Amino acid sequence: MASGLQLYLHIYHINMKTFKLKIATYSLFLATAGVLGTGCNSFTKTQKGAAIGAGAGGTIGALIGKSAGNTALGAIIGGAVGGTAGAFIGRSMDRQAAEIKQTVPGATVVRQGEGILVKFDSGILFDTGKADLKPAARTNLQGLATSLQNNPQTNILIVGHTDNTGTESYNMDLSVRRAEAVKSFIVANNVSPARLSTEGRGETEPIADNSTDSGRAQNRRVELAIVANDQLKNQAKQSAQ
């Protein structure tokens, strides 16, 4: 009898999580449909990000990002202010993203909403199973640190990821240590530690199929979410008045 009740509660919990995600996704759609429905193709990435931030709100944005399996993306969407202020922030992020693309060849740089998503395949930064930065990684991270120095009005979340090889606990610990290693190097290159936070996600947020070598290689990565700090947000809001 007890096992039957436990099974029922487990199924109920799964269904409720799915229902909540559907509601959040539908709310995001309703909030943004009116803004993006007219002339959407003519919008720039900055304008689309501003519209989404204004319509959806940070809480829904963060929920959607995390439910989609991307903590870094959730941080960017969840921190959006939207509207004209969001467009102001977006233009600043456009400039910084272009700078990172030019000066950090080992990174994948994506402008997203009011932030920047920077991704390093872990093979660029670390040997397999290690959390010590490879010599070649230092050149890439020095370039990134220089960009962060040049753009002091941002905060950065560093998220470590692994594939599913090994135990869950080992992978979680490894992902945390790798994120911390990246943070320590950036701090050593004159970026304030107050701007940086870290999180390890282990094997919980794959972006590819862990049953293949190429998929596992893609899942072994470090992502950085670059978002506006309070100073830049206040500046943006004042410019919108």
- 110-143-68 Cα angle (round to 5): 25
Q: Provide the CB-side half-sphere exposure for 181 (13 A, CA).
A: 19
Task: Quote the tokens at residue 40.
Answer: 């959407």
Tell me how far CA of residue 227 lies from CA of 80, 117, 128, 208, in angstroms.
8, 9, 30, 25
pLDDT recorded at residue 241: 81
**pLDDT, tens digit, 9 for 90 and up, residues 10-45:** 444 434 444 444 444 444 443 343 334 434 444 444
Cβ atoms of residues 32 and 43 within 8 Å: no
Q: Which of 48-62, 101-115, 117-131, 202-216 has the lowest mean pLDDT?
A: 48-62
CA dihedral over 72, 78, 83, 88, signed as positive or negative? negative
Cβ atoms of residues 162 and 175 within 8 Å: yes
**pLDDT, tens digit, 9 for 90 and up, residues 220-239:** 999 999 999 999 999 999 98
- Report the mean per-residue pLDDT for the chain: 80
User: What stretches of the chain show up as alpha helix (H) in DSSP?
Assistant: 2-36, 45-56, 58-67, 71-78, 83-103, 122-125, 135-150, 168-188, 213-219, 230-239
Reported pTM: 0.75
Strand order in the sheet with 108-112: 108-112, 115-121, 221-228, 154-161, 196-200
- 83-89-94 Cα angle (round to 5): 120
Domain 2-239 has CATH 1.10.3470.10: no
Q: Which of 204, 189, 205 is nearest to 156 (CA)?
A: 189
**pLDDT, tens digit, 9 for 90 and up, residues 200-210:** 999 999 999 99
pLDDT recorded at residue 164: 95
Return all residues near 31 (Cβ < 8 A) that are at least 6 apart.
55, 56, 57, 60
Please compute Rg for the chain using Cα positions.
19
Q: Which of 190, 181, 225, 235 is nearest to 62 (CA)?
A: 225
* Nearest-angstrom CA–CA distance, 133 and 147: 19
User: What's the mean pLDDT in 175-183?
Assistant: 97
3-class state of residue 89 by DSSP = helix
Return all residues near 173 (Cβ < 8 A) that are at least 6 apart.
200, 202
Residue ranges of domains in the chain: 2-239
